[in-house]
Amino acid sequence: MLIGMDVHKRMVNITEMEEDGSVKENYEIENSEEAWNTFVERYSSIKPEIALEQSTSGKYVAKFLRNRGFSVHLADPEKIALVFNSPKKNDREDSYKLVKLLRLGELPEVHIPSEYSDELKSLVRYRKSLGEEATAIKNKIHAILSLHGITVDATDIFGKKGMREIEGSFKKMNENEKIIMDDMLKRIADLLNREREIENRIALAVKEDKRVNILMTIPGINVYSAAVIISEIDDISRFPTKEKFASYAGLVPRQDQSGNRDIRGHITKRGPSMLRFILVTASHIAVKRSVKMKKKYLSIVRRVGKNRAIVAVARILAEIIFTMLKNNSEFMDRIDSLTERKMRSMNQKAMDAKVSYNIAQSVKLIRERLLTKTSEQLFS
């Protein structure tokens, strides 16, 4: 038996199909843990293959059923829409389309990540969001300083020297701007502390992962960037070739081929943007620290310029990473002192990781502040 599911936040439409293509039954269930437990009991002896679309709710259901021994296939919604270019769309029809494609062996599937990969991805993406939040506040500080013609002569204005110069510039600001500046600086300090805590937690999560140790032999890849790469790859064996992996990272050129014409454009930028960003960022360091990577970069930069050359090196780096993980081998130009320093840093971060948390206390604090705010509104 085969099953297609159209999963929504509250309800799920299910179509059962026999191997001969006949529809046995179509019905709806609630998208709740109780309903899914009943579903598992109903099909526990049959264990049908199940198809559903990738979505926030769909991912939860896919993992829930996979962890209970079901064969689950997660479909790419964009490709499904291209296959069925039809104005007819409803829950019953969608679940039927999914099971039909599954039966024909034509379901455009996406990878269902492991639990380890999923948890790691949550950490690294949250760390990224903290960095973006800090950058937004730093830009506002830059704007206030510029309004007063203040230029900070420091490589990093948020380093020790830069902060001393910012502190000295307070006298040029009015009282309100001082209050705003003080608040923003406190928020940056808090964000930097939270970034450090999350980075420590990431180090603790990956310190036993041999793949992370292998990746950190590459100049430009530390424990955080290695964790990003692992979280996006999950299992390197799902990519048959290094070219397929580079394509997954969105680092291959667009191609328009017809007859004798073969035009190649900019990279596709498909796939995980974080993976692509990490590879490009690491390439800037690799071409400075690795003799072989520098030679590759210099041979390309003469033809296409600096920016495109770095992207080309990022693709080469992606293919090298594929080979390293496939063969369980270290980077060709490993710098022992640099690698050992990164290993020590990872181990120290893992030791410093705070694994305790108090959700109940955080909820209580928010409730108290909301209650105070509501009281002030009522009596204002």
Mean pLDDT per block of 10 residues along the chain (380 residues) reads 95 95 95 95 93 91 92 90 71 92 93 92 96 92 83 72 80 87 92 94 96 96 97 95 95 66 68 94 95 94 92 96 97 94 96 78 78 58
Question: What are the residue ranges of CATH 3.30.420.40 in the chain?
Answer: 2-110
pTM: 0.84
Residues across the chain: 380
DSSP assignment string, 38-105: HHHHHHTTT--EEEEE-SHHHHHHHHHHHTTT-EEEEE-HHHHHHH---S---HHHHHHHHHHHHHHT
Tokens of 147: 């309004």
pLDDT tens digit string along 97-133? 999 999 999 999 999 899 899 999 999 999 999 999 9
Gap between the Cα atoms of 284 and 179, Å rounded: 39
CB atoms within 10 A of CB 4: 30
pLDDT of residue 170: 81
State the CATH architecture for 2-110.
2-Layer Sandwich (3.30)
Quick one: pLDDT at residue 150? 75
- Please answer whether residues 249 and 279 qualify as being in contact, where contact means their C-beta atoms are separated by less than 8 angstroms: yes
pLDDT of residue 372: 67
Q: Quick one: pLDDT at residue 348?
A: 96
- In whole angstroms, how far apart are CA 212 and each of 11, 216, 222, 236, 324? 40, 6, 9, 13, 11
Instruction: Give pLDDT, residue 324.
Output: 97
pLDDT at position 141 is: 87
